Amino acid sequence: MIANLGLYWQRLRAGDLGVLPVVVLLAIVWLVFQALNPAFLSSDNLVNLTQQSAVLGVIALGVVVTLHVGQLDLSVGAVSGLAAAVTAVTSVQWGWSQWLAVLAALAVGVVVGLVYGAVHTRLGVPGVVFTLAGLLLVTGLQLRVLGPTGSVNVPFETWLVYLSQRAFLAPAVSWTVVGVVVVGYAAARLVERARRQRADLPVDAPGTLAVRLVVLASLLTLVVAYLGTNRGVGVAFASFVALVAMTDFALRRTRWGRAVRAVGGDADAARKAGVPVRRVFVSAFVFSSTMAALGGVLATGRLAAANQGTGAVDLALTAIAAAVIGGTSLFGGRGSAWSALLGVLIVQSISTGVLLIGGDFSLRLIVTGLVFAVAISLDAIARRARQA
Amino acid sequence: MSPPVLSLRGVVKGYGAARALDGVDLDLHRHEVLAVIGDSGAGKSTLVGVISGNQRPDAGEVIVDGKPVTLASPAVARAHGVASVFQDLALAPNLDVVENLFLGAELTRGRLLDEVAMERQAWELLGQLAVRVPSVRVPVGALSGAQRQGVAIARSLLGDPKVIVLDEPTSSLGIRQTAEFLTLVERLRERGHGVVVTSHSLVDVHAVADRIVVLRLGRVNGQFDAALATQEELLAAVTGVDSPGSGGGRWGGSR
């Protein structure tokens, strides 16, 4: 435990803030809104909040990965809008099966990402510049696909609408997932610990593992039990969290993830070390656009419609804000997939909280902007601490 | 003597109208430390670039273990057994020591990274080179210059290369760190690697090199046995002045 604290201190001094400040920020936001309106932390509101987080969260997850390679994709909102339009138009007006419509929408995301990746690796233009062009172009395509009416309704009884709006995990399923996750985590940790002992490497004290397990188990239990007093854990939210966990695993435990972080830290160093830097950039842009498209698909389900307002510019900006507020650095190479979850919870808490206390859209933008500014400042200060 | 492990034959590399390398021949053997010295602009960095796979020569051959090879990238060079420690060290500051050591050559179990094996090998490697770091799980950005260099050299040893290229290794080190570094180079020679070192510092290369090649204006302007060569001879070759001694002032001025 003490050795762990020492390591955390070293990382802190090296300008690596970790997840702690973000959790503190989320707690502050919740306490403030709870003090202003006691309905804020009600299970009903939290169920709404989690369900509303899925769309923005999936998009923010893509942003996290592009930020990891030190790039910024400003067109994620537009891509989600185009994907929503494709989903709705192909399934409703062209009569495609909804599965096929969803696959087509995701394919649009893949193609956009491939184009971005090619532009970046061949011409060396920073993502923040050419995704602006992409934003205009993709928004134009979205309007063209939607056609003159500018809005397409998706039948309420389709599976997509059901899954994104009304599907909740049965309590038995929720608790099984909690059990599997906790036991699986414990088993993975113990196996790793045994391997480290056999290799004569330092291991955490048994107490540390126990503390982690207790924290994980109580957190999951609290969430499932409290949301369970209302409608429970939404399928959309649960899928988003699962996606975050998988992305986190890929970033930390696979060669791809390591390459992504190395390229964001120092692309030239990574190239000299033998990392296929171009492929890594392309994969990051493809991931981000595909996640944006998935967000658009989910948005179509949530709204049971796609229209010209789906994926407006503020969606991309909010998704980027969420990723940074959640603790992923704007300067590349630092962060975590979990910052998509934490950041989106903070941003979404602000928008529902502002609504609950009778504020309007303007107040919501102002508060989100302020929190974003604070997050950027912290990020910049941490970066300066690293370079000092 | 055994056949050379690395040879350059007639290597030419130009930038626009200027020729940074103009027909360079070079041989390197196992258990040998070859120093390449020269004034600024003599072609040292370009030579390192060609050997490390960072730059492609316009003409001429690079021969590793008797076979002509095309070193298209640092990764390809490494696959041919030529590893480099670049002047900027090429470490990712946000990754920890283990992650940097195995960057681009990670060990895996199935499809996942094998952190245990990598951490284990990292300790062994750093121990062999007597590189001391507080923890192998600390980001490289938090380490001192000498520690970073130790990590970069340790990384070059992975995969047991035949040739190790060290580009201006002492330029950012203090006096004591330089002494430690020179000991480290001797360890590399004992392990049987062929080592190429470039440097501005005549004193440093004299202390560690077996053979010294002097570059001047992109050409080899003399090869010396380090044990026999005098500072004056080397200076004369570096500056292009024929009579030994008269160039001393100019050398001092350029350092």
**Residue B219: inside a domain:** yes
Q: How many domains does chain B have?
A: 1
Residue B224 to residue B219: CA distance in whole angstroms? 15
The pTM of the full predicted model, rounded to 2 decimals, is: 0.90
Residue B60 DSSP label: E
Q: What is the DSSP string of B68-122?
A: EE---SHHHHHHTTEEEE-TTTT--TTSBHHHHHTTTS--EETTEE-HHHHHHHH
Per mean pLDDT, which range of A68-72, A341-345, B57-61, B205-209 is the poorest?
A: B205-209
Instruction: Give pLDDT, residue A11.
Output: 60
Residues of B in contact with A261 (CB under 8 A): 92, 94-95, 99
Domain that holds residue B228: 6-90+161-254
State pLDDT tens for residues A237-249.
999 999 999 999 9
Within-domain flag for B170: yes
ipTM of this predicted structure:
0.89
Bigger pLDDT: B230 vs A87: A87
Q: Is residue B19 part of a domain?
A: yes
Q: Helices in chain A by DSSP H: which ranges? A: 2-13, 20-36, 43-68, 76-88, 98-123, 127-146, 159-161, 171-198, 206-228, 235-253, 255-265, 267-272, 277-303, 313-325, 338-356, 361-387
CB A184 within 8 A of CB A249: no
Number of alpha helices (DSSP H) and beta strands (DSSP E) in chain B: 9, 12
Min Cα separation B148/chain A (Å): 13
Mutation for B interface: A272, A275, A330, most B CBs within 10 A:
A272
pLDDT in tens, A168-219: 999 999 999 999 999 999 999 999 999 999 999 998 888 889 999 999 999 9
Is residue B210 in a domain? yes
**What is the sign of the dihedral through the CA atoms of A209, A212, A214 and A217?**
negative
pLDDT band for A338, please (50, 70, 90 cuts). very high
What is the per-residue pLDDT across B179-217, written as a single tens digit (0 to 9) for each?
Answer: 888 888 888 899 899 999 998 778 888 888 999 999 998
Inter-chain CB proximity B95 and A265 less than 8 Å? yes
d(CA A289, CA A111): 8
For the stretch B138-162, pLDDT in tens is 999 989 888 898 899 899 988 889 9
First to last CA, chain A: 28
* Separation between Cα atoms, residue A108 and residue A289, nearest integer Å: 8
pLDDT for res B114: 94
Q: What is the C-alpha to C-alpha distance for residues A72 and A44, in angstroms, rounded to an integer?
A: 35
Q: What is the average pLDDT value for chain A, to the nearest integer?
A: 93
The HSE-up count of residue B176 (CA atoms within 13 Å, CB side) is 1
CATH classification at residue B193: 3.40.50.300
Q: How many CB pairs under 8 A join A and B?
A: 105
Residue B153 lies in a domain: no
Helices A76-88, A277-303: inter-axial angle, 10-degree rounding = 50
**Interchain pair B94, A265: CB under 8 A:** yes
Which range (A133-137, A334-338, A362-366, B227-231) has the least confidence?
B227-231
Does residue B171 fall inside a structural domain? yes
Residues of B with CB under 8 A from a CB of A: 54, 73-75, 78, 84, 86, 88-95, 99-100, 103-106, 108, 111-113, 115-117, 119-120, 123, 134-135, 137-139, 141-142, 155
Residue pair A346/A326 in contact (Cβ under 8 Å)? The answer is yes
Cβ–Cβ gap A265/B99 under 8 Å: no
Instruction: Examine the pLDDT at B249 and tell me if it is beyond 50.
Output: no
- Residue A67 sits at φ, ψ, to 5 deg, of -65, -35
Assess if residue B227 is contained within a domain: yes
Q: For residue B100, which residues of chain A lie inside 8 Å, CB to CB?
A: 273
Lowest mean pLDDT among A8-17, A62-71, B118-127, B231-240: A8-17
Higher pLDDT, A330 or A383: A330
Angstroms from B247 CA to nearest CA on chain A: 37
B40 belongs to a structural domain: yes
Residues of chain A in Cβ contact (below 8 Å) with chain B: 7, 10-11, 13-16, 192, 195-196, 199-201, 253-255, 258-259, 261-262, 264-266, 268-275, 333-334, 386
Dihedral angle, C-alpha A169, A174, A180, A182, nearest 10 °: 130
